[in-house]
Structure 1
Amino acid sequence: MVPFRFIHTADLHLDSLFTGMKGLSDSIRHHLRESTFGGLTQLVEVAITEQVDFIVVSGDVFDAADRSLRAQLSLQAAFDQLGNQGIHIYLIHGNHDPLDGLRLHSKHGDHVHVFGPEVEHFIAKRRSDQQEVAVVSGISYPTSKVTENTALRFIRDKESSLFHIAIHHANLDGDPEHETYSPCTRHELSALGYDYWALGHIHQRAIIQESPHIVYPGNIQGRSIKEIGAKGCYVVEVKDDSSLNMTFHELDRVRWFREEIAIDGIESEDAWRIKVEERIELIRTLRPQHMSIVRFTITGRGQIHRALEHGYLADELEEELRRKETTRAEHKQFGGLVWIEGFSLQSGIEINYDVLMQEDSFLGEMLRLVDEAVQVDSAEDILHKALTPLMGNREIRRILNDSTEQERLDWLHRAGELGAVLLLDKASDGGSKS
């Protein structure tokens, strides 16, 4: 087999709005809006530096069907730059940017190959000598909702000895965190005979399987607290023995973090503030050239919990930290900027739950029921019933949509904990009055 190199990328979501962020100054909001374009610029640089032969793009290049003019022109400019280097692009459209979406009808160069609503096949060549190295197959979404298993339309040419790549935008094995568009299974993909499945749609990068390779590169830029960690693309080197060497390259200009801070042993508000600020400075050193966004999860048990529970302590610190970062942004110091997305309180007061759960009392029975609820499948049902009356509130719906399963279980646990605290406080008040 003739060795070659290609980039696998997906889910660029150019010109994403970063909705749901609070307290942002105009300069920071503008910087966030620019980050997806920065990821595209970095993608082009990696392609040229790594001397790849071509790029496969697995859908959702744009963030919306009515893609912005700027997003389209930026993509066109990036493709022109790649074309000048002899790098070809093989691109499909996904559920965010289907073929029936509004778009600028500009003609791409001959080096750009956009797949239609039926599976098409192109022959990819190596840049250096124009030798044929791969068959690239793909299919675009005609509309935003494709619920059929379109993977079954892929048919490999069994007579060809070239490396076969399938570009597909799909929900593999029913990932519950994403809509089930073009659902398929790894068993189905493996049986179709392709060497590499270049998937898009899931924003968390993962090499699902090897032999054949089934790969999600993730998106190039995280856009919410659900999308933490490094974002980028894979450079795939196919060797002459058909083996693969895969290297992940970071492209993101803004990175999301979840950081846990335990309050165990913290006895003063000052000590807690210092601990938070130290963690911020650590994040700043990790990303000195780029912006970071962090959500702090407060865990553990300690005396400081009551001040955090009342809200003022976290709110005041959050406001002060954001003020400092806003000042940095006003001076265009986005490198090393650390924005506080918020605090998630999962700490508690110092209570000996092991003793209380053994008590033959109303409180003991309540804590045992809470502990049982968070351990079984009925937890989601309990939460659904409890929160249904509140779903008319847009902000509550947004918080629920942005939450993870673990966070929702933590809410249930904290509801039981709050009940215990209120009962203990009531008992303490009654005791002091008698």
Structure 2
Amino acid sequence: MRIVHAADIHLDSPLRGLSRFADDDLAQHLRLASRRAMENLVKLVIAKDARALVLAGDIYDGDWKDYATGQFFAKQMGVLHDHGVPVFMVAGNHDAASVVTKAVPLPRNVTVMSTDEPELAIAEDLGLAVHGQGFASRAVHDNLVLSYPDRIDGLVNVGILHTAVSGAEGHASYAPCSPADLERKAYEYFALGHVHTRRVVNQNHHVAAFSGNLQGRHVNETGPKGALVVDLAVEQKAVLSFEPLDVARWENVQVDATGLRSVDDVYDAVERRLGEDRAATGDRPLLARVTISGNTVTAGALSDRIRLTETVRSLAERTGVTVEKAVSQARAPQTGSGVDDRLLDAVLRRSRELTEDLGPVHEVASLPDRDFGSELRKSGLLDLRDDNVLRRIASTALEDLLAKMTSEVN
């Protein structure tokens, strides 16, 4: 039989930090992202002719602000009811019984597993036995799987558990267990939730896996997000395939500027990489944080974070990417000969100072501004009173100086 496994939908959870960088249309699209991803999940179950849907916790992001969240979920489950698809679900830490205080009636095809003890639900017409226990409270620190019953012979056995399996760093240690604990139950498949990164925990005969979350919500939840389609047979190893269902995607775009000798070269590399990543996301919006690294003589010129972010955002618009932030971790090349390291450090330090305090640059620019600044402004060529213009001139000058200082060793 075929089932679909999803988890950590966090329905109506906001994507973080939208107001800082997204236009109104994109922000509205992203506010509805979790709902659109949920709709994609229901369509997938139907399109794949799955016999059941299992949801491994955190369907909700916490108590509902109003009943609309629960009503939306019930409506989607109703679509599956109309197609004869049963749904088995457990509560996680975000939607534990003590957390979600509101309720709406769910269609008869939905089985919400007990939060008091492991529950067994048997779908005799499918030959399916589902074992699961949800969270009664937000913080469950007991190893719940130890109390799960043994497999039912002659049926396909599926376990559902919201858990921090050992090795899942970066997640609260709720319902902790080990891969061996899961393996000992001898279920054909264990559907896991809580960890937002897709990962197979057990790859032996009795497979256990995290599907990851359905929709990335911030820059630390990058890459394709979706659900697992699981093909099962009695006492056979489960076969998994991933299906992306996200409606917007986050990426941490890494650009190596090693050896690049001008800021224009660096920005060309950024634009190429953004274009490649944009093409890989298909029709969905791409939200990115750009990180520039490597050894390059342009390191000083890239140190102005505000200017860097705004420039990269302008480039990204041409490729259809929305940039949340751009940061530079670039370093100036180490000089093996010909350049005093103390002098190079002083130039880099001065470069950083000038991006923060433009007083000396204003002083230098005041003389040419007095003589012909008005004509330059009228012609639209240059405004020597504009801080952004002066910052760009100073950065370019320091970039050229760094290039000359290190040219002998590069």
TM range (shorter): 0.7 to 0.9
SS in 2 for 1:344: strand
Match in the other structure for 2:54: 56
Which aligned pairs between 1:338-377 and structure 2 lie closer than 5 A?
Answer: 338-352=321-335
Matches within 5 A, 1:161-172: 161-172=154-165
Q: State the match for 1:28 in structure 2.
A: 26
RMSD: 2.6
1:213 counterpart (202, 207, 214) = 207
Structure 2 distance, partners of 1:147, 1:107, is 30
Rounded to whole Å, the distance in 1 between the matches of 2:82 and 2:145 is 33
Q: Which has the larger radius of gyration?
A: 2
CA–CA distance in structure 1, aligned partners of residues 235 and 98 of structure 2: 41
Structure 2 residue 121 is matched with structure 1 residue 122: yes
For residues 297 and 12 of structure 1, what CA distance do their matches in structure 2 show? 28
1:355 CA displacement: 12
* Residue ranges of structure 2 left out of the alignment (5+ in a row): 343-401, 406-410
Indicate whether 1:8 and 2:14 are aligned: no
Aligned to 2:185: 192
2:91 equivalent in structure 1: 93
| CA distance in structure 1 between the aligned counterparts of 2:240 and 2:306, rounded to whole angstroms | 48
Q: Is the 8 A contact 1:39 1:253 kept in 2?
A: yes
Scaled by the length of structure 2, the TM-score of the pair is: 0.77
CA distance in 2, matches of 1:95, 1:353: 55
Within a 5 Å distance, the mapping from 1:26-425 to structure 2 comes to 26-66=24-64, 68-117=66-115, 118-125=117-124, 131-157=125-151, 160-209=153-202, 210-239=204-233, 242-311=236-305, 313-321=307-315, 324=317, 337-352=320-335
Deviation at 1:268, TM superposition (A): 2.3
Tell me: CA distance 1:77–1:156, structure 2 relative to 1, closer, same or farther (3 Å).
same
In the TM superposition, residue 50 of structure 1 has moved relative to its aligned partner by: 0.6
Change in 2 beyond 3 A, CA 1:227/1:68: farther
- Whole-angstrom distance in 2 between the partners of 1:155 and 1:91: 17
Q: Which amino acid aligns with 1:48?
A: I
> Conserved in 2, the CA contact under 8 Å of 1:93 and 1:140?
yes
**Structure 1 residue 115: deviation in Å?**
1.0
Q: Report the Cα offset of residue 281 of structure 1.
A: 2.0
Q: Report the AA paired with residue 195 of structure 2.
A: I
Deviation at 1:174, TM superposition (A): 4.9
Local SS of the residue matching 1:47: helix
Q: Which residue of the partner structure matches residue 15 of structure 2?
A: 18
Q: 5+ residue gaps in structure 1? A: 126-130, 326-335, 362-424, 429-434
CA shift at 1:101, angstroms? 2.5
User: Structure 2 CA distance, aligned partners of 1:16 and 1:216?
Assistant: 20
- Whichever residue aligns with residue 119 of structure 2, its letter is E
2:62–2:100 CA contact under 8 A, matched in 1: no
For residues 54 and 281 of structure 1, the distance between their equivalents in structure 2, rounded to whole angstroms, comes to 39
- Structure 1 residues 95, 337: closer, same or farther in 2, change over 3 A? farther
CA shift in 2, pair 1:315/1:163, >3 Å:
closer
Residue 431 of structure 1 corresponds to which residue in structure 2? Answer: none
- 1:254–1:293 Cα contact (<8 Å) kept: yes
Q: CA deviation digits over 1:312-333, x for unaligned, max 9?
A: 54133145347x48xxxxxxxx
Contact conserved, 2:151 with 2:186, CA < 8 A, in 1? no
Distance 1:112 1:337, change over 3 A: farther
Does the C-alpha gap of structure 1 residues 315 and 235 become closer, same or farther in structure 2, counting only changes over 3 Å? Answer: closer
Deviation at 1:309, TM superposition (A): 1.4
In structure 2, what is the Cα distance between the partners aligned to 1:115 and 1:239?
23
**What whole-Å deviation, never above 9, does each CA across 1:138-193 have from its counterpart, x for those lacking one?**
111111111111111211255x3212111000000152210000111111222233
Whether the 8 Å contact between 2:151 and 2:187 is mirrored in structure 1 is no
- 1-side partners of 2:38 and 2:326: how far apart? 31
User: Size of the alignment, in residue pairs?
Assistant: 341
Q: Give the TM-score normalised by the residue count of structure 1.
A: 0.73
Distance 1:353 1:220, change over 3 A: farther
Q: Distance in 2 between matches of 1:245 and 1:87?
A: 20
1:57 Cα offset (Å): 0.3
**What's the counterpart of residue 408 of structure 2?**
none
Mean Cα deviation higher: 42-51 or 287-296: 287-296
